[in-house]
Copies of this chain bind each other. A is one copy, B any other.
């Protein structure tokens, strides 16, 4: 009986998008399920003092070069949405509201809307359109993002992520081992193949 890979991600994180396009093949190769855990990176930033990568001197320039290069390396279509960073709280709420079964498709729909199609999830209407396109009932989704219970769920999940040691996006837990960054997926692949080191 193997444990699932826990995949923590912020929807406004371009590196998390890149990871979302690769994680399933790696999990499948090793017979692992995935637990999909969107969280609010802004809350983590309050602890770490970090901020949106693209806005940081030197690191922003590096990311602007590294991101499309990483996408090319793995054959993943990539664009930056016109507004960045953007509020992704509604997308994250909807993943928890829609439930585990829908989490993978909904996650891909939101990430691809931003980083493949260049749409702005900052706009609630766009987020709802994407959710509807992924099969959610638009009116019910619109009610859900205002539902205090749904809001509380995302807050709790974000707190739980921090409690689990999540310090950035994307972040992975594999048999209790933490891995931070989309560039660690090859390492996770090797870790699972070899049983660790």
Contact = CB atoms under 8 A, between A and B. Distances in A.
A54 B183 CA distance: 21
B197 A165 contact: no
A61 B197 contact: no
A24 interface: no
A103 to B, nearest CB: 24
Given A66-B180, A69-B197, A197-B73, A165 B49 contact: no
A152 interface: no
A59 interface: yes
Nearest to A162: B58
Given A50-B56, A58-B166, A66-B180, 17 more contacts: A44-B58, A49-B57, A50-B50, A56-B167, A58-B165, A58-B167, A59-B168, A61-B167, A62-B167, A62-B178, A65-B178, A66-B178, A69-B197, A72-B197, A73-B187, A181-B183, A183-B183
Interface residues of A, number: 31
Contacts of A69: 177, 197
B48 A58 contact: yes
Given A72-B197, A197-B72, A197-B73, A59 B183 contact: no
